[in-house]
Structure 1
Amino acid sequence: MFLTENNVVKSKILIVDDTLQNIFYLRSIIGELGQIFFAESGQDALAFIPKISPDLILLDIEMPEMDGWQVCKQLKQDRQFSDIPIIFITGHNQPEFEQKALEIGGVDFITKPFSPSVCKLRVDNQLKLRLQNRLIARGREQLQTLVKQVPVLITYWDESWNNIFTNDYLGAWFKQHETNDTRTNIVDIFPEPLSQAIQANVENNTTEQQFVVQTNENASTQFYQVFKSALMKNNDNTGYLVTLVNISEAKQAKQALYAEKERLRVTLNSIGDAVVATDTAGCVTFMNPIAERMTGWRFRDAQHQKIEKIMPLQDTDSKQSHKNPIYLALSEQRTVAMALNCQLVSINSKTYDVEDSAAPIRNENGELIGAIIVFHDVSETMAMSIKMSHLANHDQLTNLPNRILLQDRLNVACSSAKAKNEKACVLLLDIDHFKYLNDTLGHQYGDELICLMAKRLNALVPISCTLSRLGGDEFVILISEKVSADSIALLASRLLDSMHEQFELAGQMYNVSVSLGISIYPDDANDSEQLMRHADVAMYRAKQEGRNRYCFFAIELEQELMKRQQLESRLRHALKKHELVVLYQPKFKLSTQEIVGAEALVRLLDEKGQFISPADFIPLAEESGLIVELGKQVMLKACEHMKFLSAKGFDLPISVNVAAAQFSSAELEQDIKDALAFNMIPAKLLELEITETALMVDAQATQHKLEQLKLLGIDISIDDFGTGYSSLSYLKKFKVDIMKIDMSFVRDMLNNKHDFEIVKTIISLGHSMGLKLVAEGVETLEQQNALSTLGCEIGQGYLFSKPISAEQLLRLLEK
């Protein structure tokens, strides 16, 4: 093993001399060999030595009070400091002085004047001897620990390549442990390619050799830097010193760096932008193929040429030359962009509208070494910009102007109308019952209907108008020229009439109607935002009046809209807080007055605790999409009350109304299961009332769903029978249990012959289909008797009981 100065603490050298000039002179010679301390007398030296424990003392002989001989003798008598080497430096050159210096313990004797280099060498040698003695004293164990930490394999071999020494004590390099029993040959330690390479060229023993060897060990490629020196004695080879450094990581890093540079080169040559790099003087050092194509220069011709020659720039309009932004990037050392309306003129005079940016290039020390400019033909970017602008301003489904573009055109139309003292008009069109149709048929067919509607409307709207899709099923027509009430009413009528033609979806024909709201600027609104809001108010009124119509805005409509918004807010709050009230109207057996069931009826309370009419909030719930959650909460409460009544000894069937949207919901079956399971009540106590109209939207899907619901064990009732457009052939296939006669027929059955016949026919039809019959709205004894005579078994209405709470129902049952 070899030890260098880096392995030890810097040496401490004490100079003892009564002349400062001599001290400074010696320090200038040997200062780089260690830390220099000095004393100007023998007494000072002896007092100073315990504090610093010097590694070497340079001692003058002739000093007042205590000379060098005395100092040396005292130190040699002290066990703690007796091993400190002392070099005498004196002006005496007599042999007896040198002899005495060596006799009393000095290690060297330097006479003045002396050679500085020789003096330095002598001091250096003594320091090395001192160091070696210390290391030997530390012992072999510490030596081995130190050598093990060197990331180099150090080996010593005899002339036959048998190992004498290695610092690989743990066999970490080649799985061979050091042994003192036998001298293992190099071929048994090193991989074959390595041992062969090391043993080669042994005849040139005087030359130190350095080379790299590649090996494959356990499917892993390793690289070793080999340093080999022949050890000579009397011109005879006594062995070899071989050190190995595993440079595999460095090699792999170099290979990775090359691969990265290659990837960078391929990337720069493959990207769609042109790239040119220059040095700090603006001379070209790199061009990728796109840059070559756009400039017309080959890189081999352009290299070292000025950038302004290779890449001349000019203003698009004036054709005046532009300074290349590379120079700005170099001078200001920041990223800069090219001036607007900039053209590149190629070597063959072809011009390109370009956009670019230039940036400085710095080395690892942050020093500026050049700049790079990246540019591209802006025509492609402009085309993409136009496309992106179109996408941002048009509806992706219909390609009509979207809300953003409409708002811009609305603002322009209102500003222009104000400036010219003219008018602008907005027609807001909404497809009637679209949500129900979308939920029933699926969103794919809902989107198809939107596209068909857009195509039909586009064919009817004048080219000077803007037809826009706001989103969902809402369309807006903006009219900014020749606006008059008559022309607008005529257009609205034509739009409504065009809906008479059916739409084909999924191979079936569907009747679709629309509702239109109309608002005129400045008659109805002060700005574009108010114009749109008032059109929405008018459209809502059209829906309230029965749909499939148009309505002009009037001030009282806005007040109604505010009321509607307040009602919707109240409904949402009630649903969120589960504050809906469920009442029950008992069903009586007409012949015995026995309570045989009840219908759950939902009620909503206002802020004052007063009931809000279901005629107000139920249609709102359907339009706003809240009806599904409302129906779910009513079902849960009805099941809770059935459990309450059952606990009191009354297993009373209760019917729950299911809206069309809730019936078409995929979660209905699971909601029913959850409500029944949570309250632990039998399915036979639950009855679902579904309107005739809801059942007939998609007869095949309805039949399948009814079959699934029947498997749960619940009863199905057709509500409001006679008010829809049922096909008897379909009704016969539906798995229903009960048919309810709508109160509109019962109310006038004794005064209107047609109503009486309808009731009679419904009862007869129910009997023929084996269904139970329930009459709604029974309010007089005469109606009860007539219904009973016709064969209707069950009735409900104010004659028997108004809607009551679950607690009141319990008391009624207990009577």
Structure 2
Amino acid sequence: MIVEDERIVALHLRQQLTRLGYGRITVYSSGESALAAIMVDTPDLILMDIHIDGDIDGIETAAGVPGYLHVPVIYLSAYSEDQTLERAKRTHPYGYLIKPFAERELHAAIQMALQRRKVELALKHSEERLYLAMKAANMSCWEIDLNTRKIETTGPTGILYPDGNSSGVAINLDTFLERVVPEDYSSVKNAFEDAIGNGNFFDVVFRAKDSKQSVFWYRAQGKTFERTTQNPRRIIGVVQDATEQQVASARLRQASTVYETSQDGILILDSNLRITSANRSYASITGISINAALGQRPHILARKTFPLSFYRDMFKSLESRKHWQREISTQNADGDPIILMVQVIAVIDDNNGDISHYVAIISDRTAIRRAEEELQYLAHYDGLTGLPNRMLASDRLERALERASARGTHLACMFIDIDNFKTINDTMGHNAGDQLLIVVARRLKSLVTSTDTIARLGGDEFLLTAEDIKDRHAAADLANRLLRGLRVPVTIADREISISASIGISLFSERANNAQDLVRQADTAMYAAKNSGRNGFTFYQSAMTEDATHFMTRNQQLQRGLENGELVLFYQPQYSRNTGKISGVEALIRWNHPTEGLLGPGEIIPVAEQSGLINEIGQWVVEEACAQAMRWRDEGHPALKIAVNVSVRQLRSDDFVAIVRHALEMTKISPRQLEIEITESTIQNDTRIISRLHELRRLGISLAIDDFGTGFSCLGSIKSLPIERIKIDQSFVRGIPNDQDNTALTEAITALAAKLGLAVTVEGIEEKPQLDFINNLECTDFQGFYFSRPIPAAQVFELPEIAFHTS
């Protein structure tokens, strides 16, 4: 390519080049057009005039030629001043001819430039191959000047220049050593010092950090070489990123560790399934030493161990899928039975595609299978008693129903619940309770036939499925036999315990058509037996389901009523015999039912007791009673004692005392304003409840025995309890003064209380003759419909005083 703006000069040059034998010649008069043409049709050489038309001169045009094209440029110019030469030199031209020049001079310059370009291209290709080879090896060549300690590199620079610096920028040896992790620094430093001091070759592997503090592995090699006397010594070598090699080596070590430490037996087998390598676990699992196993087939796969079809299937699978797996039952070297999961994998030779060897993995499943058998047992049998559990009992009942339906026979389902089992658990501990359940299970199993199923459903509940029962009489006889067998006392923890049970019975072909109905009906009948006094049995009746349904509905409604604020307290006044004024009130619960109106405690307490909701309702009653006392105080009314009835469940609750304490603290009322009423049957032989009463008394709360005289009171116990008041039950007041027994009992109770220094409140006064008689006894307070029915809190202080006259 000729770049010349003088047309005659350009034509003359073209003619000269043609005579010299150069074939394709293009001519351009401006730098812009020449650069555009170069990108389309790259020339082998450019003859460039410096002063040409256009916005850029020849030197700027030469500078614009892309370096990757490697096009030699020879300047042709009539000017040779220093400034022009300096500018031209910066573009690295292949020649500079001063016009005018001879034709042979031009030819020689062109030939030298083309030859130089040829050599440089060859060198470039050689360097490129070296660069790619070094890049493939993740390696850089380096030269370290031992005088300046500067490093110059050839090849990929990412190893020595983690921040992406070019190879033209030297780094310092000390800077490079600073990247070495502290653990490897000494070994690397010693290697370099030995090479510098003794001229030895060094080869060191170490870890170093990049600019992001990521750690990589490197391998550095080099040796010291002498230069001329004018130049210092130097180290020439290579540095290689060895991270992948180290990772591969680590993985190989890990694989070796896994091979040796794996809990599974691992075998390498040749093409004939003979062992070439075995790990220690194989020897441990099979009992065969590694030396004895080498060269032999695994004894678990040896011929004659299994039928021929076993081996046929194995080789067929290995041939088609290159994998075979199966759980086998066999024996170890000592003849003990073992269960193994065996996998054999065919390994393919990459060169010819044939099977080169096999890898066998042998897992000992013996313990797992035994555990599964135990779990299977536990899934169907009770772990404590060994009896069938609920799941197996349901399955057997279903099968028994199928047989009874096919034969047209009867079948009895009995739901058995141990009486007072919770008390035994609470007083003697759960270990004693478990021992009792084991005894009960053995006795029940001994009392039924082999065709019957006795199962434990959970807790103290058992279920009996009795087949071929002739009629209700036969079922009743069986239930009586069970009750008699259970009543025999048993000694547990050095204490003799009497056992009784409540049994509910449902019969197939009478009212139940499936297993669920039978169990549900027997369960319902069992609760009826408990409500009838325990230690007996009851047959299911349809009315029981209606009662149970009513209870369930009431329970749900009551739960909702408590959450929605439907419960309220009414208050029945208690009048002081001495002053005629209201001395206190008894808080009585009512329920504002959204559809049925105001309901009394008869629709609340039994349901709450049976469902366990009594604790929540009882807590609400205590808190609401205290809150009402606070409201009366804030309204300016005199302080009144409020009596609250507390159930056995509440007193047995561990947090009951804390609930009462919290209610008093929140309302700031005096503890003397709160009176806790308990029935006398609550305190008999229950040390925990008695302890609760003393805790309440220490809070300053008054304690009273409600319904006194109806619970076979132990007078000695009452004398030792922190009781301040007794309330004579209204059943004694009824019939006074005509009923001589009630009058005598009431006189005796009031006299006894006076001797013990206890206050007496007489409940249930409904008529004036009753009041006239009781008014002459040693009592302190009156309560009953004669004075007032339970009323809302707002009406209490509207009641008048009453004058009591004694004869």
Q: TM-score, normalised by structure 1?
A: 0.74
Q: For the residues of structure 1 that align with 2:650 and 2:78, how far apart are their CA atoms?
A: 112
The residue correspondences of 1:727-738 to structure 2 (distance < 5 A) are 727-738=714-725
Q: What CA distance in whole angstroms lies between the structure 1 residues aligned with 2:514 and 2:641? A: 57
In structure 2, the residue matched to 1:332 is 321
State the alpha-carbon separation in 2 of the partners of residues 363 and 709 from structure 1.
87
Distance in 1 of aligned mates of 2:597 and 2:181: 93
Residue 223 of structure 2 is matched in structure 1 by 229
User: Is 2:301 the partner of 1:311?
Assistant: yes
Letter in 1 for 2:174: D
| Alignment deviations for residues 337-396 of structure 1 (CA, whole Å, 9 cap, x no partner) | 427xx45588999986544455688999xx999765444566655433321111111223
Give the SS at the match of 1:480: strand
Name the CA shift for 1:786/1:392 in 2 (closer, same or farther; >3 Å): same
Paired residue for 2:122? 120
CA distance, structure 1, for counterparts of residue 127 and residue 484 of structure 2? 116
Alpha-carbon distance, 1:676 to partner: 1.5
- Residue aligning to 2:538: 551
Matched position secondary structure for 1:322: helix
Give the aligned partner of residue 67 of structure 2. 54
1:690 pairs, out of 678, 692, 700, with: 678
- Judging changes above 3 Å, is the alpha-carbon distance between structure 1 residues 654 and 421 closer, same or farther for their aligned structure 2 residues? same
Matching of residues 642-657 of structure 1 within 5 Å: 642-648=629-635, 649-657=637-645
- Alpha carbons of structure 1 residues 744 and 292: separation in structure 2 relative to 1, 3 Å: same
| Separation (CA, whole Å) in 1 of partners of 2:794 and 2:65 | 103
- The 1:547–1:771 alpha-carbon spacing in structure 2 relative to 1, beyond 3 Å, is same
CA gap 1:374/1:622 in 2 versus in 1, 3 angstroms: farther
For residue 52 of structure 1, report the CA deviation from its aligned partner: 4.5
Could you tell me how far apart the structure 2 residues matched to 1:803 and 1:145 are?
Answer: 105
Residue 17 of structure 2: aligned partner:
none
Query: What is the rounded CA distance, in whole Å, between the counterparts of 1:264 and 1:448 in structure 2?
Result: 49
Partner of 1:137: none
Q: What is the aligned partner in structure 1 of residue 166 from structure 2? A: none
For the pair 1:38 / 2:26, whether they are aligned, the reply is: no
Q: Does 1:83 align with 2:120?
A: no
Give the match for residue 11 of structure 2.
none
Is residue 774 of structure 1 aligned with residue 761 of structure 2?
Answer: yes
Report whether the alignment pairs 1:628 with 2:615.
yes
Displacement of 1:406 in angstroms is 0.9
Of residues 631-640 and 607-616 in structure 1, the stretch that sits farther from structure 2 once superposed is 607-616
Query: How many residues are treated as equivalent by the alignment?
Result: 719
Which residue of the partner structure matches residue 203 of structure 2?
210
- Separation in 1 of the partners of 2:772 and 2:601? 29
Please state how far the C-alpha of 1:330 moved relative to its aligned partner: 7.6
The alpha-carbon distance between structure 1 residues 765 and 491, as it changes in their structure 2 partners (threshold 3 A), is farther
- For 2:92, the aligned partner's letter is P
What are the equivalent positions in structure 2 for 1:437-452 lying under 5 Å apart?
A: 446-447=433-434, 449-452=436-439
CA distance in 1, matches of 2:303, 2:594: 74
Q: CA deviation at 1:497?
A: 3.7
Q: Secondary structure at the match of 1:320?
A: helix
Name the CA distance, whole Å, in 2 between partners of 1:581 and 1:387.
55
Answering whether residue 574 of structure 2 is matched by residue 587 of structure 1, we say yes
Q: Which residue pairs with 2:668 in the alignment?
A: 680
Note if 1:710 corresponds to 2:697: yes
Q: Aligned partners of 1:152 and 1:280: how far apart in 2?
A: 49
Shift of 1:409: 0.8
1:450–1:719 Cα change, 3 Å:
farther
**Partners of 1:203 and 1:553 in 2: CA distance:** 106
Match of 2:279 in 1: 288
The answer on 1:474 being equivalent to 2:464 is no
1:322 paired with 2:329, answer no
- Higher mean C-alpha displacement, 274-283 vs 769-778: 274-283
Which one-letter code corresponds to 1:276 in the other structure? Answer: L
> Cα offset for 1:804?
1.5
Distance 1:461 1:526 in 2: 24
Asked if structure 2 preserves the Cα contact closer than 8 Å seen for 1:588 and 1:796, the reply is yes
Superposed displacement of residue 537, structure 1: 2.1
Residues 311 and 345 of structure 1 are in contact (CA less than 8 Å); yes or no, is this contact kept in structure 2? Answer: no
What's 1:241 paired with? 235
Which letter maps to 2:225? L
- Distance in 2 (CA, whole Å) between partners of 1:239 and 1:513 is 106
Q: 1:600 aligns to what?
A: 587
Aligned to 2:13: none
Deviation at 1:408, TM superposition (A): 0.8
Quick one: structure 1 residues 794 and 552, their matched pair in 2 at CA, closer, same or farther if it must change by over 3 Å? same
Instruction: State the distance in 2 between where 1:330 and 1:98 align.
Output: 79
Shift, 1:683, TM fit: 1.1
Secondary structure class of the residue paired with 1:687: strand
- Using the alignment, how far apart are the partners of 1:127 and 1:259 within structure 2? 35
Distance 2:642 2:451 in 1: 59
Q: Distance in 2 between matches of 1:314 and 1:264?
A: 32
Q: Would you say the 8 A contact 1:55–1:84 is kept in 2?
A: no
| 719-728 or 497-506: bigger deviation | 497-506
* Corresponding position of 1:527: 514
Identity %: 25
Q: Equivalent of 2:646, from 634, 640, 658?
A: 658
Give the superposition deviation at 1:531.
0.8
Partner amino acid, structure 2, of 1:210: D
1:134 is matched with which residue? none
Distance 1:77 1:281 in 2: 85
User: How much does 1:71 deviate?
Assistant: 13
- TM-score w.r.t. the length of structure 2 is 0.74
Compute the displacement of 1:807 (Å).
1.7
Distance in 2, matches of 1:122 and 1:667, equals: 92
**Mapped contact 1:645–1:810 kept (Cα < 8 A):** no
Letter in 1 for 2:267: V
Secondary structure of 2:557's counterpart equals helix
Matches within 5 A, 1:98-177: 108-110=112-114, 120-121=122-123, 152=160, 166-169=172-175, 172=178
Alpha carbons 1:297, 1:310 under 8 Å: kept = no
Q: Does the 8 Å CA contact 1:314/1:345 hold for their aligned counterparts? A: no
- Deviations along 1:309-347, one digit per CA (max 9) or x if unpaired, are 87247896x66333475874785367x6427xx455889
Which deviations, in whole Å up to 9, do the C-alpha atoms of 1:162-216 show, x marking residues without a partner? xx9934349835999xxxxxxxxxxxxx9887666555588985x754356999x
Deviates more, 1:518-527 or 1:783-792: 783-792
Which residue does the alignment assign to 1:795? 782
Residue 808 of structure 1 deviates from its aligned partner by: 2.3
